A and B are shown apart, each in its own frame.
Chain A
């Protein structure tokens, strides 16, 4: 995707914004903190605007664009400096990068539209920022472990981020990546889809959870909190002890 390349070409910034996302804020705050600290460890200052809330995707994906636009508009003033906005979620990064410009083009003021375009252009997905902009070198300090990686749909297909997370994991000497059957197939989360079409979502989830169990991994990693809530929820309900973690938290734990 263009955003990775453009950022890489722009070189290493002195400071970045961090857009934590609402799911990370509420359900995986430790992973958000780990994501911030892994950036800071590379000598880059991280600004976390306390006034941020949510990218607006839940309403946007449900067709409620006016409400999504109001929430999106409330984010923009807090990310005004011309520095990258790092996002630890494929889905939210796709929303901020790909959907903000059309969202404000069709409904916002001209000033908002311009601001949204500028903002969208500065959005960088977290693993891409670490692997391709900061070019981090990770030293694995953990015990041998077998992990599976779930390449979430929006990260993979909207942002085109396939290599960066695997490149980061590949630096960990004691981590074995398990083959995951149907890895690139959706887990069935889909935001409100998971409750509006609970049966279909459950059928997709059952296959995904089975694949994770059959992979023999003891840890499942992903860059999308929604998928982790979904898959982790199924594994927990079935009594499996597989840990489902956001990738930043796992990397932080292994390299601390």
Chain B
């Protein structure tokens, strides 16, 4: 008995301690604005009655509705240092915009009206009355500061080059290089309601509809390093206010009554973004009805959710990059040899590779991907122009021909004489699988055995790429909104082409540079697209990259959600209604 009693005593103490510990409330879930999250299937719904929600854009703002979805946690909400479009998804919700893009079209928001000068270099915007959530009015100065801060060389913004390349504001490059002062830059607030933008030269792809946010200099200075870290370190002028951000847990947004178009759009009153990095968990939450939408459904679960998923094509490009600037002259010769590259490219059956490794993506055999507009705004570039390039299923015979030609040119009598080449890629599961598949296909179809895979964490891999310390690199590039964006990365001195800025370019082609330079200033849309198509053909033939895959994404939306629009840059909940 004594033994038993002592045993029980020990157990009791342990249980008490256990109980105390578990009583700690570190839980990240119980918020009053959301319905009870349990494992019961679907709609426990909100407490309020459902009105008859048609599909109209006008919603009574009294009713409380919540939209819960799984999304990616923003890296930072510091507008100046933000570099990823994951962050811009949130800015779209928390900040007012000069022009707000929705479903592919830009609509004026804070901008009432704008005029363009004759030579298309000066844009003058007239602003409406708008305010931040604390009542402070939004002025033109704030929009100007947003751009200027990102161009300021002392503020460390990584997007400066992007802004300069895309818009080419007057003296922006000089300012960023520290050669002139802020006042000299062609971004000025003429008065409280007038913003004037001056470009160095007219840009054909710029329609004047700047999707920029207002940013207050005093606020930025006050917050310092803490800017954008927590809900208190943000300014709110947009449709929603970030009420709570539990790190790695969720973000709660509540409708902002002071938003300029509060009564015309964003009918859902509460938004909860759940943060979960595990695909399995996300899918389970969707199946349980805990979330209404998944912004990204993992490849393994497409079958399970097949009734709810939609596909959005057109994401980043993945391509195989050959380093012709390799330090080893023998390797440099091989990697710079056009026939060698073509051999490796034609040997790959992109369709099969995509189906096996990443079904949400699509094969890519050219540089411009399938969601870019073409000759007309409603046509697709990829349909208007078909380059002469590798077929999506590959062509093994042609590949072998190319390989023979390459070996002959380079002076090798067989494939086994080639020096060992290293294939560098990121330490990410999908990339690893693609690497293994690609290498093996080359081995089986071309007999190329001297290739090894080097898997490195992202920073080390990119560092190696930036120091030209690789043979073959599996690169991933964003495709941008317009064909010109990706093509201008490869001009002499372009971002990817001359990544160290030292003047060594992976791709040097005068004709290509000419075509792109001309396209930038060609306002005739059709002519511009034709120039770009020609440039694309050149780089596909002579360039150092062989495109392989274009990312796509599958998202899942519950059937009771209306007005859902998917965008790769923004959470466009403008007319989203949850009919639970």
Binding partners A and B:
no
Residues of A within 8 A of B (CB): none
Residues of B within 8 A of A (CB): none
